[in-house]
Amino acid sequence: MTTTPLKAENIVDLGIELLKQEVVTPSVFWTVGESEFTKAKNDTVTIKIPAYTSASKRVMRSGTAITAKNFEERKVDVKIDTHLFHRTDMTSEELTLDITDFGEQILKPQVEAVTRGLDDECVDTITGATYTNNVNWNYSNPLQSVLRARGWLNRAHVPKSGRTLLVGPGIEENLLESEILLDASMNGGSSAALREATIGRVRGFNVVVNENLPDDVAVALHDTAFALVTRAPKIPAGAPMGATTSDSGYALRWLQVFEDEMVSDQSLVDLFCGTAVVTDRGHWDGAKNRFVPAEDVDAVGESDMFVRAVMLGTGVEESA
């Protein structure tokens, strides 16, 4: 009789595919690949923000000298500070008599648990951020609220492509009842979970529902507003079976270890992760009602501002 062994690489590849298909909120974050963490100092990866500069001008034939300007790149640090995991123990009897499909019965629920944990981390970052601009959600006129948020993003020079309106269940109901949503055809590269959570488009936003957001909260964001990093922990030298993998900005580890005393196998799915808010250095010009990025990041009056997203909700202090 020929026995085909269970290959750790196949299991962990299945796991990463399950993770990619289950994510919703992490899919609208700026994900940083595993390779960026090589020799990362203090468990931190640095994301570079391109330098901002403006053109100079001179009157022709004036004899005025042409002066040079310096480029000053900025950075956003993302620290890996969270270990998300799910462990389950399987007895010899269960492995022999009960478990007929390891991927469906064991791995899938474990990956789903870790995915929900990753989603919770992202939601906590979204709801805990300090936004430069806020909009009160008008249930009588939801389109007005969306247009207000769009206006604030436009005034901050946020790119029009890659915008998402992430909504809680209560605001989702309000949008569906208002019939202002257009059909959205997500591209083939989007995860199944994200496609299912996308309920339409409105004024340049893909509208995505997340049931973990509070009922009366929505966030209009660009896909660079929040950063997410994941890393697969190393496989211990004493682990008899295990593998790691990373793809599309996500990383995952799977281990199976035998426990002598309990005569059972432990299956562990886990990852390290960290999130951050991506701020921009500059100031808000009250006269023009525009965000002005800083050319000199150390100049007086310049500060880090979170302008790549707008908070919408009931009871928030609305921006003037």
Same-domain pairing of 25 and 113: yes
Note whether 75 and 220 are same-domain residues: no
Alpha-carbon distance values, 128 to 88, 125, 166, 282 (Å)? 32, 5, 15, 22
Task: Tell me, yes or no, whether 76 and 141 share the same domain.
Answer: no
- Above 80 in pLDDT, residue 117? yes
**33 occurs within a structural domain:** yes
User: Are both 147 and 219 inside the same structural domain?
Assistant: yes
Cα(293)–Cα(305) distance, rounded to whole angstroms?
Answer: 10
Q: Is 318 within a domain?
A: no
245 part of a folded domain: yes
**In terms of C-beta density within 10 A (0-12 exposed, 13-18 middle, 19 or more buried), how is residue 162 classed?**
middle
Q: How many domains does the chain have?
A: 2
Cα 154 from Cα 146, distance rounded (Å): 12
Same domain assignment for residues 236 and 208: no
**pLDDT value at residue 195:** 75
Q: What percent of the chain has pLDDT over 90?
A: 40
**48 and 117 in one domain?**
yes
Q: Mean pLDDT score of the chain, rounded to an integer? A: 83
Q: What value does the CA radius of gyration of the chain take, rounded to a whole number of Å?
A: 24
Query: How far apart are alpha carbons 123 and 127 in whole angstroms?
Result: 6
Structure token digits, residue 105: 């019965």
Is position 64 within any domain? no
For the cut 60, the answer to whether the pLDDT of residue 163 exceeds it is: yes
233 and 219 in a common domain: no
pLDDT digits (tens, 9 = 90+) for 248-294: 778 888 888 766 565 567 888 999 999 999 999 999 998 999 999 88
Tokens of 59: 């009157």
Residue 304 CA from chain centroid, whole number: 20
Domain shared by 118 and 47, yes or no: yes
Please report, as a single letter, which amino acid is at residue 260.
D
Q: In sequence order, what are the beta bridge partners of 165? A: 207, 220
Place of tokens 């796991």: 15
For residues 112 and 137, membership in a common domain is answered with no
265 in a structural domain: yes
Domain assignment present for residue 237? The answer is yes
Contact 193, 21 (CB under 8 A): yes
Question: How far is residue 171's CA from residue 260's CA, in Å, rounded to a whole number?
Answer: 52
Does residue 91 share a domain with residue 178?
A: no
Does residue 221 belong to any structural domain of this protein? Answer: yes
| 41 and 75 part of one domain | yes
Q: Domain range for residue 268? A: 8-52+71-124+228-275
Task: Give the CATH number of the domain where residue 213 resides.
Answer: 3.30.2320.10
pLDDT, one tens digit per residue, over 82-102 is 999 998 877 665 565 456 666
Decide: residue 133, CB within 10 A, 0-12 exposed, 13-18 middle, 19+ buried. Answer: buried
Tokens of 51: 């330098």
Whole-number Å distance between alpha carbons of 136 and 113: 34
Residue 60 lies in a domain: no
